[in-house]
């Protein structure tokens, strides 16, 4: 090969190498810019999240960990149009379940069908029979809020003042094992709460304030208390009986709320059936259930969630309602 040809080939190889290096540098720079932009976007969302929900962290290292969890959850909420940034975005699914999904499922022994032919719409919130949304905090007391919500509604429909506000904390402190098989902030069951209210009646929140933690059962003998005469369970999986009962009053239900961590608005369609949370069924409109939760008004649709018709989230599998 002549010296001229060799020089030419070397020059071409050098130009190719320089071009490749340039392309690599440009791609690398673009990749770095993209990563930097993504980091900045996540940090902006993180700061908005902290401000909106009043979040504070013990130290920078712990906050960095929570930012990582937040970033992972941002990827999750892309998968469902009903998902959004909630106050639980800095929690792993395991942490969320441990703190909020502590229902202790028990057998419904006195289940019976509810006669009727419900085929329309009902929304008890529009009829003034549902009390305001409350917040259980980080105490696993969903069972108490579900039961109290059902009792408040039953009493309103029986003529009680619409501003009635009964004491979940009394159930947390007093409706405990061994007699009632509840464990306060570690979970419980709505029927056991009804049993306690039948036996002991229930105080009002103004006299027995909610603390979101386990406490010693107070002497309530001087308090004005309310009661129920009994309760009924709905047969497992009997959605027709559930709707017939709902046509009479709001109903305490158990659900699988594992996917509710990120619920923001609209109809939630992706649900399991592993019952782990107690809530209150308050309506059925346009073939969609309306459910009152106990995670405050900043969650979901001002504290409510919409579920598709049928046995969505297992809501027909363990339902009961009190008798005023």
- Catalytic residue numbers, as ranges: 142, 277, 293
- What is the helix (H) or strand (E) element at residue 17, kind and residue range? helix 3-53
Q: How many helices (H) and strands (E) does the chain have?
A: 7, 8
Say whether 82 sits in a helix, a strand or coil.
coil
- What is the helix (H) or strand (E) element at residue 123, kind and residue range? strand 122-123
What is the biggest distance separating any 2 CA atoms in the chain, rounded to whole angstroms?
Answer: 112
The answer to whether 100 touches 264, Cβ cutoff 8 Å, is: no
> How far apart are alpha carbons 298 and 263 in whole angstroms?
11
Give the torsion through C-alpha atoms of 224, 225, 226, 229, to 10 deg.
Answer: -130
- Preceding omega of 178 cis (within 30 degrees of 0): yes
Spell out the long-range contacts of 78-82 with Cβ–Cβ below 8 A and sequence spacing 24 or more.
80/259, 80/262, 80/268, 80/269, 80/270, 81/266, 82/263, 82/264, 82/265, 82/266, 82/267, 82/268, 82/269
Query: How many CA atoms within 13 Å lie on the side-chain side of 248?
Result: 20
Residue with tokens 């009680």: 160
């Amino acid at each position: 090969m002549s010296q001229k040809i060799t020089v030419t080939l070397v020059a071409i190889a050098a130009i190719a190498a320089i071009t490749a290096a340039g392309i690599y540098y440009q791609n690398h720079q673009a990749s770095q810019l993209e990563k930097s932009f993504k980091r900045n976007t996540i940090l902006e969302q993180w700061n908005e999240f902290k401000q909106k929900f009043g979040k504070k962290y013990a130290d920078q290292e712990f906050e960095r960990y929570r930012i990582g969890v937040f970033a992972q959850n941002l990827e999750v909420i892309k998968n469902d149009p009903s998902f959004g940034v909630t106050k639980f975005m800095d929690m792993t699914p395991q942490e969320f379940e441990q703190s909020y999904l502590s229902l202790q499922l028990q057998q419904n022994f006195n289940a019976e069908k509810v006669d009727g032919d419900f085929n329309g719409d009902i929304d008890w919130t529009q009829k003034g029979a549902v009390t305001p949304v409350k917040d259980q905090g980080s105490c696993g007391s969903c069972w108490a809020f579900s039961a109290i919500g059902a009792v408040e509604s039953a009493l309103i429909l029986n003529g009680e003042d619409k501003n009635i506000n009964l004491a979940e904390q009394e159930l947390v402190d007093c409706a405990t094992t061994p007699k009632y098989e509840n464990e306060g902030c570690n979970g419980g069951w709505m029927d056991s709460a009804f049993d306690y209210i039948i036996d002991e009646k229930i105080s009002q929140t103004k006299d027995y304030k909610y603390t979101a933690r386990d406490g010693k059962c107070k002497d309530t003998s001087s308090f004005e208390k309310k009661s129920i005469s009994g309760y009924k369970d709905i047969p497992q999986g009997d959605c027709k009986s559930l709707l017939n009962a709902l046509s009479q009053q709001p109903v305490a239900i158990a659900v699988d709320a594992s996917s509710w961590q990120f619920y923001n608005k609209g109809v939630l369609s992706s649900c399991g059936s592993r019952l782990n949370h107690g809530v209150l069924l308050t309506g059925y409109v346009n073939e969609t259930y309306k459910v009152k939760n106990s995670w405050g008004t900043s969650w979901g649709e001002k504290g409510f969630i919409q579920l598709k018709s049928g046995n969505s989230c297992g809501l027909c599998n363990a339902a009961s309602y009190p008798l005023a």
